[in-house]
């Protein structure tokens, strides 16, 4: 969450991050199935593509930096199944349900 306005609105001031699973990746020109979305919104992001897995325990920032192969511009499609999500005072965990 990099927007100061959104951080203030939600009262959350730490980075929010997650994973992109292969079945949720859509490339340029792909169509996203509408029946999988309820209240979609788009948000610009920087995505880091890892060249190797970070499977070991106790991963350090040094390990993460060394594993980055390259970075790309991306668009995150956000979707919420919670009425009034934009008035919450704390962020929700990334939950994958389908």
Please choose, from the candidates 32, 60, 36, 64, the residue with its C-alpha nearest in 3D space to the C-alpha of residue 50.
64
Is residue 31 exposed (0-12), middle (13-18) or buried (19+ Cβ within 10 Å)? exposed
- Cα–Cα dist 69/57, whole Å: 21
Q: DSSP string of 39-82?
A: S-EEEEEEEEEESS---SSS--HHHHHHHEEEEEEEEEEE---S
pTM for the model: 0.57
For 21-53, what is each residue's pLDDT tens digit?
888 888 889 998 888 887 788 888 888 899 988
**Residue 69 pLDDT grade (very low, low, confident, very high; cuts 50, 70, 90):** very high
């Amino acid at each position: 969450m990099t927007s100061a306005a959104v951080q203030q609105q939600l009262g959350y001031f730490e980075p929010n991050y997650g994973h992109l699973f292969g079945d949720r990746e859509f490339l340029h020109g792909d169509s996203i199935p509408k029946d999988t979305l309820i209240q979609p919104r788009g948000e610009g992001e920087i995505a880091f593509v890892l060249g190797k897995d970070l499977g070991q325990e106790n991963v350090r920032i040094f390990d993460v930096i060394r594993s980055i192969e390259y970075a790309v511009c991306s668009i995150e499609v956000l979707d919420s199944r919670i009425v009034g999500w934009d008035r919450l005072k704390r962020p929700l965990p990334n939950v994958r349900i389908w």
